[in-house]
Chain A
């Protein structure tokens, strides 16, 4: 570097870079390193190569839990993709209808749950779905479905789906807002031209608006992906660290927490915890990489 760095630039950059490096970048890299170490009975750590990962992926004692969490996490993500994002798209499309009254009120109110703490949301839904209180049952009775009411959160077969739907309820505002903004940005001339040509609003949506917002849909997908594979709070506050019943709601976040801190008779291990975190890191990295190299690149070419 020929020109000397102005000393003021260093002063401006220093606090941000220092805090970010020490408390974010370094711990992330150090966690990847720590995943290669093992802890013995005395608590001392020594280099173990890929042994932790072999345990995690192949040894039934660890791998059963890990693959269960991974599979549940995929389902969790799948439900968000199949329910949250299409409904978000629908709401955004309705909101962006030209001349719609109270559009601002609707979007403000629908976005509200997104701001609440997951702890609160989890508990509110626990109360609503609790057979003890009977709100859920009463509501279903209004439409004549009372006999179909089940304690969905308590049953192994339905707990994960119920939790996913609670999460969908809370976070639907995010895709809705992002897609809504993208729809508003679609140039009016394009739509007007199509209207003049006699295209139905159905065709305008599918053949003009939707392709134009593909980049936003891609962004929504990757945000959902990173968010879901990093989720923890909802499972922990509704189901505790054990992610019951019988681990049926265990996802990578809660599995990471248990590995790190231990539970019941199992002693927590920072190095195994780091190995789990590394796996989560790799999963997220793969998602982000696929998004950037496959999806986004194609989209840009499409846009041209």
Chain B
């Protein structure tokens, strides 16, 4: 295949992938008439308008929702990485007979989607009085992502040379200091991979916020946007601005982490 044709196909698909996103962001910056008159035109000096953003940022509890999503994502990530790395370390370092079974037990969690346990999760959260709290979401997301995190981190921990920890042990360094001061800093690249992978489904999830924390105070941005779109469906400026605002953080994160993400995705697949 000639290089020209190759690029033509790839460029065509890239446009197909980006066009819908560009269309929304572009039109979110236009006045109402311009959105309808010519949706495919770029905003010009005459048609430029921030009214949609004004409306969204003042009317809806956008800031609160952003805050909720950020809190849930950051705290979940912290728990997943910390507890996941601790468990991965224990499973690879201390050769216990039960390890095989623990690995199998965790593998079950990778294959079976946690959503299927929703009926029981909800009644459990009701009993623990955690419904409509961000804690409920953090616990569920941590449980959901831990198995995969443990698997990925174990792979990395196994590659750490034995001499390092043997030397530390000879010097009388305690097990906890070995883990926190030697192992954890060494597996930073793996931690980054796990973090990027975990962050996206947590930030984007609709199911658990809808079921466990739908109250106005605990809504995440995904659920908030979903409900906002339903309410303001005729106010196109606001709808387009809301969509753009929901896309932007992901775009920014992607720019920052795309290398890491793609590295994780491709190195995981080769195995």
Contacts and interface: CB of A to CB of B under 8 A. Distances in A.
A123 B243 contact: yes
A15 B6 contact: no
Chain A's interface size range is 35 or more
A5 interface: yes
Given A9-B96, A109-B17, A270 B175 contact: no
B170 interface: no
B162 interface: no
Given A120-B243, A226-B111, A20 B250 contact: no
Contact of B265 (A20, A134, A178, A201): A178
B258 interface: yes
B83 to A, nearest CB: 4
A124 B206 contact: no
Nearest to B223: A119
Interface of A: 1, 5-6, 8-9, 11-13, 15-17, 19-20, 22-28, 30-31, 34, 91, 94-95, 97, 100-102, 106-113, 115-121, 123-125, 127-128, 133-135, 138-139, 169, 172, 177-178, 180-182, 184-185, 201, 216, 219, 226, 230, 232-233, 236-237, 253, 256, 260, 270, 273-274, 277-278, 280-281, 284-285, 288
Interface of B: 1, 3, 6-7, 9-10, 13-14, 16-18, 20-21, 23-24, 35-36, 39-40, 79, 82-84, 86-87, 89-91, 93-94, 96-98, 102, 105-106, 108-109, 111-124, 139-140, 142-144, 146-147, 150, 175-176, 179, 200, 203-207, 210, 222, 225-226, 229, 236, 239-240, 243, 246-247, 250-251, 253-254, 258, 262, 265-267, 269-270
12 contacts: A1-B98, A12-B87, A25-B108, A94-B1, A94-B9, A113-B20, A117-B206, A123-B243, A125-B20, A127-B24, A181-B265, A274-B120
